[in-house]
Amino acid sequence: MKKLYLLKISLILFVLSHLKVQGQCAYPIPTINVVNGVICNGSPAILSVPDDYDAYQWYWGSVPIPVAADTYGYWAVVQGYYHLELVLNGCTSQTAPVYISAPLVQPINFPDTLYSCTDSLVIQMDTLLYDNFMWHTGETTSALTVHQSGWVGVGAGIDALSCGVADTFWVELNRPSPTVSINVTGNNPFCQDSSITLEATPVANQYSWNTGDQTQSITVNAGGNYIVTVTNFYGCTASDTVLAIVVPCPPSTQLSSLYCPNYGLVKTSAIFCDPVQGATQYEWVFTQGGNPFATKITTNPFTVLHGVSPAPQFGNVYQVQIRPYVGGQWGAFGAICEIGLVPQPTPATVPLTQLRSEDCGKLNYRFNANNRIVAIPVFQAIAYEFEFKDAITNIVVATYSSPFPVCFFNMVTPTLTFPAQFYVSVRVNYGGVWGYYGNSCLIGIIGINKEAAENQPNELIGGKNILFEASLYPNPFDQNVTVSVLSSDKDMILVKVFDVTGKQVDEFQMQPTESKVVGGNYESGLYIVKLSATSGINKTLKLIKN
């Protein structure tokens, strides 16, 4: 009987031992109690079981949580599965896992202070992020209209997640609005292929143009409405609009080829630009090394350097741009041309001149109003002085000064005696400095001739004697021909070249005293060269290319 009892005891211990190995304990396994099963904005989920067991080990997934062995409760702050391992009377068991979620609810991100430029402000919540709302006023709408400055509180949540967020902020009403106006730099209307600059003033916190630009100023080259909206510190806005108008541009102009470039000028030099039809003004802009130097407005297509303020100085180089004014609109500036003034002239550096070859040695002049002698022109000379010495005594008997290289016998003082012979020398005023006399030439005056002069008279235009001479050299020519003009008038001279069929093959303008090389692209043959000026001067020459 005793043996049978012992056998029963051993069988029971074996069964209990077997059950432990299989993880089955002879006690009920509890279910984890969950309070606040959603981790909302950092608030924990509270997990617990009855305090009826010898030891407890919490797990997050398969990872043991390091807490005390007698901890039957746990605050979960991380999303995931949780379960508990229990020990009672040496038997270990595990609870069923529970899932704790941590939904992402976007926080309310109002700034610390909201401003309004009026006496009210509508505060709108985002209905895509939240589906329920509670304002400090008790209203549950997604928007609240505030009518006085002060604190505002709002809560918002998502029903399906059982989670919400809250925020408080200050509202300030009746803040000052900005002012704005657009300043235009440049002419408006403005020319095609040019631009104007639009600047919003005064300074603001933010700028927004309808072009997409975010800067205070923009440069535009197209017509249309340009709108700027400015925002101040309080978020208040103001706008202004300007209409940019583009009009056809007058043609541009630049220094004529004789002066572009030209480094042989003096202070008294005149520089000419290509004239523009209908232009009533010309603006001349002088720069030096990229820096502004001077600006001059003229009514004619030329300017005298000593009339520019400040005046260009000897030994310096300048860059010149010109634009015309036509029909109430300034044109665009033409190409930059460089000019230079010679070093400060001295009598020794002033160019020399003398009578031209056809006048030098001529001994049969007649004394009348048309007879004259002509000196070789000096570029940029402002005056010529003719000196007459008696050919026998070599004593100076008379002088004559003129802005042109021409001396009319009847203008010389004292009056020249005749018959007589004279040695004639000429000097020029160049840059305000008189040079030395050039080579002397012997001439002779044999008497009075009331008829036409033996040498070619001047043109009589509008009751005035105007010197106008033109020459072609060489003629005939092989490669190029030099067209030279000499006029006492200030008008530009138009030159047209025609072939024997009457077809125009060339056209160009010349200054009153200028030489120009042409003919390189002419075919062999006979040409008619016609020269004319607005004063009424006309001359026709024949030209032959071999």
Q: What is the CATH number of the domain that holds 474?
A: 2.60.40.2550
Same domain, 242 and 209: yes
Q: Is 88 exposed, middle or buried (0-12, 13-18, 19+ CB in 10 A)?
A: middle
Domain end point (choices 149, 172, 195): 172
- Which domain does 330 fall in, by range? 262-341
Give domain status of residue 204, yes or no: yes
Give domain status of residue 453, yes or no: no
Same domain, 164 and 192: no
pLDDT of residue 369: 64
Place of tokens 């069923």: 96
Backbone phi, then psi, for 91, in 5-degree steps? Answer: -105, 130
Cross-strand pairs, 326: 279, 329
pLDDT of residue 398: 94
Same domain, 46 and 73: yes
Same domain, 168 and 188: no
Give domain status of residue 252, yes or no: no
DSSP secondary structure letters along 134-145: EETTS--SSEEE
- Which of 449, 438, 477 lies closest to 356 in space, CA to CA? 438
Q: Which two tokens stand for residue 119?
A: 């006496």
Domain of residue 374, CATH code: 2.60.40.10
pLDDT of residue 466: 63
Give the three-class secondary structure for 46: strand
> Amino acid identity of 226?
Y
Is the distance from CB of 453 to CB of 374 less than 8 angstroms?
no
Same domain, 430 and 496: no
Give domain status of residue 518, yes or no: yes
Gap between the Cα atoms of 331 and 190, Å rounded: 9
Gap between the Cα atoms of 428 and 349, Å rounded: 11
Gap between the Cα atoms of 100 and 462, Å rounded: 112
**What is the largest distance, in Å, between two alpha-carbon atoms of the chain?**
189
> Amino acid identity of 211?
T
Backbone phi, then psi, for 486, in 5-degree steps? Answer: -140, 115
Give domain status of residue 294, yes or no: yes
Backbone phi, then psi, for 248, in 5-degree steps? Answer: -60, 140
Same domain, 379 and 320: no
pLDDT of residue 390: 93
pLDDT of residue 9: 43
Is the distance from CB of 344 to CB of 432 less than 8 angstroms?
no
Q: What is the pTM of this model?
A: 0.42
Q: Domains in the chain: how many in total?
A: 6
> Amino acid identity of 386?
F
Q: Which two tokens stand for residue 445?
A: 């005056």
Gap between the Cα atoms of 365 and 422, Å rounded: 11
Is the distance from CB of 483 to CB of 516 less than 8 angstroms?
yes
Give domain status of residue 383, yes or no: yes
Is the distance from CB of 330 to CB of 187 less than 8 angstroms?
yes
Show pLDDT as tens, one digit a residue, over the chain (546 residues).
Answer: 444 344 344 434 433 443 443 347 888 899 999 988 788 777 788 999 999 999 999 999 999 999 888 889 999 888 899 999 999 999 999 999 999 888 778 888 899 999 999 999 999 999 988 989 999 999 999 999 999 999 999 989 888 777 888 899 999 999 998 999 999 998 888 877 788 999 999 888 899 999 999 999 999 999 999 999 999 988 889 999 999 998 877 888 999 888 889 998 888 888 889 998 889 999 999 999 989 999 999 998 888 888 899 999 999 999 999 999 988 888 888 999 999 999 999 999 999 999 999 999 999 888 776 678 999 988 778 889 999 999 999 999 999 998 889 898 888 989 888 889 999 999 999 888 999 999 999 999 987 754 333 444 444 444 455 667 777 877 788 888 888 777 767 778 889 999 877 889 999 988 877 778 899 899 888 888 998 887 777 888 888 888
Do you find a cis peptide bond into 312, omega within 30 degrees of 0? no
- Which of 428, 362, 417 lies closest to 395 in space, CA to CA? 417
Give the three-class secondary structure for 160: helix
pLDDT of residue 161: 75
Report how far apart, in Å, the C-alpha atoms of 470 and of each of 342, 483, 485, 529 are.
28, 7, 4, 10
**Number of residues in the chain:** 546
Same domain, 290 and 270: yes
pLDDT of residue 14: 38
